Amino acid sequence: MLYCHDDGIYLFHHRKKQYGSAVWYFSEFVRRAAFEKAEDMADIEAYNEALDGDGGTRYPMEEVVRMAVEAE
């Protein structure tokens, strides 16, 4: 819910009662949304790069655990 006030625009987000409520400046809401979108885009790009470099080699979980223990 948005509230306009003399000192700015606020986004009021009502959570479940046990968590209370949060009031954010609208600009803070937009900033957080932009950062989350940028992070999502970077994650998708990294995932796609990993898929492109995938040689198709698969390891059973037991071997992955063994390799991790040996690496320590």
Residues 12-67 pLDDT 10s: 555 444 444 565 666 777 888 899 999 999 999 999 999 998 888 899 999 999 99
The reported pLDDT for the residue numbered 13 is 54
The reported pLDDT for the residue numbered 28 is 77
Sequence-separated (6 or more) residues with CB below 8 Å from residue 2: 9, 10, 11, 12, 26
Q: What share of the chain is helix, strand, coil (3-state, %, to 5)?
A: 55, 20, 20
- Which helix H or strand E contains 39, and what residues bound it? helix 26-52
Is residue 10 within 8 A of residue 24, CB to CB? The reply is: yes
Q: Is the confidence at residue 5, as pLDDT, over 80?
A: no
* Largest CA-CA distance found in the chain, in angstroms, rounded: 63
